[in-house]
Amino acid sequence: MAALPDLITVQQFRRMQDDGRAYELHHGEVVAVTRPKAKHYNLQRRFVRLLENRLAGFGQVGMEFPYRPVAEFDLRVADVAVVSHQRYDQIDPEDNLRGAPELVIEIKSPSNTDRQLRELASLGLANGCTEFWIVDTDDGSVTVIHPDGSILRLHSPQSIPLTAFGGDALPIAEIFG
């Protein structure tokens, strides 16, 4: 039987020497992650632009947003996140958001497996997420997952309801247009 890896805390993770690569902390293990390609990055920027005005009364919209779904052993980065004003204002400037953002948007990429996305959705939804969106550029869909396990898979000309965040709706056509 192989030995289990040593668990790394967020504090230990932050003290690691920077080698120029991108990492996240997953369940106490350091995991190398890829940087987004231009298509992915541009879609992240589009989401930020589309959501900032629609959700300005609710909270802050951020790209490549770091958060700690499990305080000591996880430090993740959401492609796009929405955090209520109240929670955002309480973030320690020397730390990151504790728990998951109210909305996490992950854009599917070749480096993601379906299992990884399900696990990430489960982690977020169990730790503060109101909705978790998975964006699939291959078929032009957005899958919206709720904490109760209900799922909406939407395509154009449908819209994503934003009522949970004080907004109206986001047409799928605007995302992929």
- pLDDT of 12 higher than 80: yes
Under a CB-based contact definition with an 8 Å cutoff, are residues 101 and 83 in contact? Answer: yes
pLDDT band of 111, cuts 50, 70, 90: confident
Give phi and psi for 73, each to the nearest 5: -125, 10
Nearest to 114 by CA among 144, 142, 141, 134: 134
Cis peptide before 147 (omega within 30 of 0): no
3-state secondary structure (DSSP) of residue 23: strand
Q: How buried is residue 129: exposed, middle or buried, by Cβ count under 10 Å (0-12/13-18/19+)?
A: buried
Integer Cα distance of 11 and 38 in angstroms: 32
- pLDDT of 3 higher than 70: no
Beta bridge partners of 59: 84
For residue 35, what pLDDT is reported?
87
In the predicted model, what is the mean pLDDT of residues 4-24? 91
Integer Cα distance of 32 and 39 in angstroms: 21
Q: How buried is residue 115: exposed, middle or buried, by Cβ count under 10 Å (0-12/13-18/19+)?
A: exposed
Q: Which domains does the chain have, with CATH numbers?
A: 36-176 (3.90.1570.10)
For residue 177, what pLDDT is reported?
83
- What's the pTM value of the predicted model, to 2 decimals? 0.94
Integer Cα distance of 126 and 165 in angstroms: 18
| C-alpha 69, offset from chain centre | 10
Q: Which residue has the tokens 């047409």?
A: 171
Beta bridge partners of 69: none
Q: What is the pLDDT of residues 94-110, one digit of tens each?
A: 999 999 999 999 999 98
What single DSSP character describes residue 25? Answer: E
Q: Kind and range of the H or E element at 134?
A: strand 131-136
